[in-house]
Amino acid sequence: MPVYFLSSLTPAAATSLRSLCSPRRFLHNRFDVSNQLSFSCALPEVSSRGSLVSVRAMAGAASASTPTGTKQALISLSDKRDLALIANGLKELGYTIVSTGGTASALEKAGVPVTKVEQITNFPEMLDGRVKTLHPSVHGGILARRDQNHHMEALNAHGIGTFDVVVVNLYPFYDKVTSSDSVSFEDGIENIDIGGPTMIRAAAKNHRDVLVVVDHNDYPALLKFLKGDQTDGGRFRKELAWKAFQHVAAYDAAVSEWLWKQTSEEGDIFPPSFTVPLSLNSTLRYGENPHQKAAFYVDKSLSLVNAGGIATAIQHHGKEMSYNNYLDADAAWNCVSEFDGPTCVIVKHTNPCGVALRENILEAYRLAVKADPVSAFGGIVAFNTTIDEDLAREIREFRSPTDGETRMFYEIVVAPSYTPKGLEILKGKSKALRILEAKKTSKGLHSLRQVGGGWLVQESDDVTPQDISFEVQSQRAADEKELSDAKFAWLCVKHVKSNAIVIAKNNCMLGMGSGQPNRVESLRIAFKKAGEEAKGAALASDAFFPFAWKDAVEEACQNGIGVIAEPGGSMRDGDAIDCCNKYGVSLLFTKIRHFRH
């Protein structure tokens, strides 16, 4: 017999019908009979034409639902790791498992009794799976507050059962759109989860009554909690809820980032707003100083997938990385990755104190140490070539040029790869030596820096000598060797803290001055380190020289520099040109500044 909703009845008739067909009344009578309770109510036909609207679907939905009081767990997973563990654990604790689509099929194959969600909603999946759980029979059971009588009465009135545990993770949108550059816009859109985030958010909001789990690593903790006395239940529930909202927030951030790239116009690189999804990698012993607490987070932005860099480096050996270790290793790796030929870079406090490029990487290493052996001691050594047996032995046994006896000590060695024998030898240098294997950092990324109350965002400084022209300004042009040295020095100086000066010859840094408030002092420090080898060398400055006569340019010329490379752009560029002409020095303008703060 069809069931109808009577849109206009006399008060007496309505009261009689409510009494006859009350789900609440019916449920109370059979509350503990079965975990899968259902009810039906057939109304007598009424002959009031035009006043009847069929509600067969509504009645069917009510009859298929489970009443409040039955322990139910809703499981819907894309990542099905440990599915049997959580499902069997909940089953043993007396939970009825309700599940969707592929998860339900996987549970059935694993021999776990499961109620499909359409049996709860009395509504099939539709729109190619876009609508599965978006139904009051699901969300009512998640969102209802158990301490609110009118909430529970509403559930009983509609035959909706409560869910006490919600185990959900989301469509692999992140993996899908990063797995290939050829993912279509339509395919990306279809991988945006709707029902999953809705269930997670609902359960997390109602965490006082519903335990929500989005990470398979939390399954053991959940089962342990459910088996225990739950005395500190509020804290555990809040932690799970926080993690759930973070899970959804990171997911939405990935979708937002992807959509921005799909819709933004060329050259529009800064969105009006964006979210940076950070994932805790490790808690560090301390920060920049021992009294500061610190942690290291990995950026999960889509733009950084396969971007390389220190954040994704593999540590093969040594003590745990510190805050300063990460900064120094990043500086060393970014610098050495700039060079095409076999290169060694040694960094101390984020500044390169030794850089050398040679066909023979052993020679490059020795020259990099020689540039400033005092600073190199305790520094970070980076290579852009594989560390083999010979290079590893050289690193392990090399003696400081200062006395010829002291073995060089390093905090970190970083390279793109190691031979098995090379790695074995290097591990023998010190138990503390951190050995990192890193991928080359991608170009075209944004760099972020915090200031009070905000963040500065800019494009990374990816300009290389191949991207620019070294324009001759002086009467004497640089010869081929001088030009090569100038390009090498200019590539080094971009990685030195401003004000920065680098002196180089034969693809080897001879001296470096950094971080001084005025350019003259940085220049003097660089010459002090370079010594007599500065004669005929190239000098690069990260910015223009504001003065020339009786200032940095003239001092450089008087100290025997052969060629100077600087951006130009000063009001007194003419003085710099005249000064170089007086001393027969070649002056090159790059028109590119390399400030680094």
Distance, in Å, from the CA atom of 209 to the CA atom of 217, rounded to the nearest integer, reads: 21
Annotation says 349 is catalytic: yes
HEC-encoded secondary structure of 130-168? CECCCCHHHHHHHHCCCCCHHHHHHHHHCCCCCCCEEEE
Q: Which residue of the set 216, 349, 370, 443 is catalytic?
A: 349
Q: Which residue of the set 91, 176, 205, 243 is catalytic?
A: 205
CB 125 within 8 A of CB 113: no
Distance, in Å, from the CA atom of 359 to the CA atom of 376, rounded to the nearest integer, reads: 22
Distance, in Å, from the CA atom of 449 to the CA atom of 186, rounded to the nearest integer, reads: 35
* Distance from chain centroid for Cα 492: 28
Return all residues near 524 (Cβ < 8 A) that are at least 6 apart: 513, 555
For residue 78, give the amino acid letter.
S
The DSSP code sequence of 19-87 is HHT-HHHHHHHTTTT-TT------PPP---TT-EEE-HHHHHHHHHSPPTTS-EEEEE-SS-TTHHHHH
Distance, in Å, from the CA atom of 554 to the CA atom of 441, rounded to the nearest integer, reads: 38
CB 319 within 8 A of CB 434: yes
Please count the other Cβ atoms lying within 10 Å of the Cβ belonging to residue 151.
18
CB 381 within 8 A of CB 318: no
Distance, in Å, from the CA atom of 357 to the CA atom of 507, rounded to the nearest integer, reads: 5
Return all residues near 371 (Cβ < 8 A) that are at least 6 apart: 346, 353, 354, 355, 356, 508, 509, 510, 511, 512, 529
Closest CA to 564 of 518, 381, 551: 551
Annotation says 316 is catalytic: no
> Could you list the active site residues?
205, 349
